[in-house]
Chains A and B, each alone.
Chain A
């Protein structure tokens, strides 16, 4: 083994670069790494390099070959302060054979400070055809808005590139971690909604990157990173430093901010990686491994209830009062129903308990109050409620659903129990003005949404002309009021917990049942009010809520496309 020979002739600081010139004889070593080692243990890789033939080197080495031993390396200077550097060339095998050269900060010179002789020397080198061909890339400005880890092996970078009109959307991003270069798994360009109206930054191209480092690689030693973007003629750098402590929901908001609601291209954005990233985030938000569940029981519920009502609570807990006040007048309800409230709203962990404590003595509807100090979403709240239900029939009910009459428990059971192959059933739900809120759901393709299947409530907000009281099979029913046998619910794992907040779980559930051979019915004889959206106060902005709906729709669409086609065809044939 022969150590690497070489010489470092000049170190020049010019145009945000540290340019090194000299020559190297590396022999048979073809896997050398070339880097500058900074004082803070940073390894910087060259952004540009050129090799050229040097006769003087050949002469001194007594070599007669044509090998290009002369080099020009350009290193970005943005990670460096005025500090001692070491120029290192070597391979992984044996550090003893590496070429190392200390660079004192004083040695680094400005081009204009070079002596005539030195300038001549450089001039000579650059006269060489091969060297002359080489042009450094233009620097472009890149700024980082957010940098955060999604998981232990995946992080997100968002920011903007000041393109000045020259830089397209074809740049290659790479994250430089020491001597490694990692390419992002997704690159999404776009205009961020929140910056759209700011004309000053109109020249910016916004981007969001999702970078997968792999589970084995992990997060270790990846706290000092540099992002590079380059195309043929440009290169830009930015340091990635973890400075903000973001909550998971804030991270979700950042991801959502890159979905432009006006662009109509949501699905490609979800496909491009944001969808999976959101899924991963919300899995963490909804993580419930260490969940502490508190259960309080009030009154003496029926020992052998025929139905278990599961009512998740989020936002308006005062709706409990209205429901209890109505249930209290229905002896049939008190005789046959087990009432389970599930608080899915950590902000009201204490107040909901105080509220029920105060309400119960007056309204006296026996109930089970399940609380936990997290927000786990609609599906999980129902699934937790179902675990504590003892009746054979579950009724998933929203807190803003109000019965119109008494005896509805027995009446709906009487109908439900004789339905053929029943998996789930819904009822007629009405708005405040007696118009239809729900009479079963169907699926329709929405051209504005990449032709995706969406859930439609036929006749919604129209006056109730349906005098047909016959129970019929429908493609799906709303989760605002959904009856289902507990055995089936348990067998299919309840509602899918992969949707965010609460959307599409109901149709997802009905489709799941369909796959297993069960039918979903609509029972028009039972009527209740559904004061839609009173039960959930908006998470943040309406637009963000809409984006979350789109995400859920995307997820639902890709999972169920084929099944929906089948269900819809069957349903239409029967109509």
Chain B
């Protein structure tokens, strides 16, 4: 049995925050422990009521630690009380004594934790492998790591300090160069970088991460049986389209609803759009109004189901023919795609970034030009009219990488033989 001790660090615990990176990080923790590896899980939280003044750590179980931080500088990913954070984190490292520290993020934690990990290794004269998995373009782009332009929401394809300060008029090019130099100096101590998609990996290589130090490992999914195709009643077509995920302008729900404008009466008689996901109430007034107005116009076609639980997913997808992902930003390795494929549902996705990478046009789904409702309408028409197409795509769907497989790839990276 390996003598390594693994510390997996996440920006949140999936019990409280269901983001893709939190879920992925926790899966790895569970799977590694299952394999008898000595693995700890550390998740940031910002609930002041559960943190004791003298110590930032609270324990959900012996090896699941919640670590209290308040991040206030999202530009540099630094916490409010950086010194205390580093200090307590250092104590925690001295206590756990990990040999592998796997960062799944630095958001909410403070990016200096990476350097502090190196300091721990130097102070104790031990080898500690530091691995950093990127989950979006956070180091490259200050606009929530999404690589889209502020204001216009146009896609952005490369970092440039001059262009960045056009997106953020209160900052100058120097601020962005400093940000870049700072991040690069911090991640200089990282041994290996992991990206869950080739697309993300290319972006980081272009930004300046050493090609020799970066690999692609996708997040794994639970191994489940494909769901059977939805049973159609007589004459019914594959007309159930489901949107799953947060509702915000970057996710493009408005693109999907606007596509209905381009469908004829005959199509509108049948097409059903089910929306699962929350977040609409947090959006700006104009965006909320747009969505609400579209829902009202197409009240026969659109149903909003609100928040959903992960365990409800099989049921939701059983009643679904197609899953639609109309994001107008690049995405990375979206959980929605993996889950849809896992349960055997073909997808309609924007033809960019991580979506285009994970869904192959004509194989396990269909592409449409991003942010283009008319084009999406054509694809919807095709999806409903071409009866043979659905069966082919359904057949073609391969089981996505499992958690076990993904974990194996990570362990391989860590140099742990199993």
Chain A residues within CB distance 8 Å of chain B: 319, 321-322, 325-326, 328-329, 357-358, 361-364, 400, 402, 431-433, 529, 531, 534
Contact = CB atoms under 8 A, between A and B. Distances in A.
A322 B83 contact: no
A433 B173 contact: yes
Contact of A364 (B82, B119, B174, B182): B119
Given A361-B83, A363-B115, A433-B160, 8 more contacts: A322-B181, A322-B185, A325-B181, A325-B186, A361-B119, A362-B116, A402-B177, A432-B162
A358 B188 CA distance: 21
Contacts, number: 54
Interface string B172-214: 0110111001100110110000000000000000000000000
Interface in B134-182: 160-162, 173-174, 176-178, 181-182
B64 interface: no
Interface string B55-88: 0000000000000000000000000001100110
B112 A531 contact: no
B363 to A, nearest CB: 42
B116 A325 contact: no
22 contacts: A321-B182, A322-B181, A322-B182, A325-B182, A325-B186, A326-B185, A328-B185, A329-B185, A361-B86, A362-B119, A363-B115, A400-B174, A402-B177, A402-B178, A431-B173, A432-B161, A432-B173, A433-B160, A433-B162, A529-B177, A531-B178, A534-B174
Given A322-B181, A529-B181, A362 B174 contact: no
Q: Is the interface of B mostly helix, strand, loop or mixed?
A: helix
A358 B181 contact: no
A433 B174 contact: no
A500 B82 CA distance: 37
Contact of A361 (B87, B181, B185): B87
B161 A402 contact: no
A43 to B, nearest CB: 61
Max chain A C-beta neighbours (<10 A), residue from B87, B177, B182, B189:
B177
A363 B176 CA distance: 21
Nearest to B81: A358
B182 A432 contact: no
A319 B116 CA distance: 20
Nearest to B86: A362
A364 B116 CA distance: 10
Contacts of A322: 178, 181-182, 185
B86 to A, nearest CB: 5
B165 to A, nearest CB: 9
A531 B115 CA distance: 25
Contacts of B178: 319, 322, 402, 531, 534
Interface of B: 82-83, 86-87, 112, 115-116, 119, 160-162, 173-174, 176-178, 181-182, 185-186, 188-189
Nearest to A402: B181
B159 to A, nearest CB: 12
Contacts of A328: 115, 185
Contacts of B174: 400, 432, 531, 534
B90 to A, nearest CB: 8
Nearest to B179: A322
Nearest to B116: A362
Nearest to B90: A361
A466 to B, nearest CB: 20
Nearest to A357: B83
A294 B227 CA distance: 73
A357 B84 CA distance: 12
Nearest to A328: B185
B181 A432 contact: no
Contact of A362 (B112, B173, B181): B112
B269 to A, nearest CB: 57
A358 B189 CA distance: 20
Contacts of A364: 119
Given A322-B181, A361-B83, A361-B86, A432 B116 contact: no
Contacts of B116: 362
A433 to B, nearest CB: 5
A433 B181 contact: no
Contacts of B181: 322, 325-326, 402, 529
Nearest to A529: B177
Nearest to B165: A432
Nearest to A329: B188
Contact of B161 (A325, A400, A433): A433
A32 B236 CA distance: 125
Contacts of A400: 174
A328 B185 CA distance: 8
B83 A358 contact: yes
Contacts of A326: 181, 185
A263 B186 CA distance: 51
Nearest to A361: B86
A163 to B, nearest CB: 47
Given A321-B182, A358-B83, A432 B188 contact: no
Nearest to B160: A433
Contacts of A319: 178
A326 to B, nearest CB: 5
A326 B183 CA distance: 10
B83 A432 contact: no
Nearest to A404: B181
B191 to A, nearest CB: 14
Contacts of B182: 321-322, 325
Contacts of A431: 173
Contacts of B82: 358
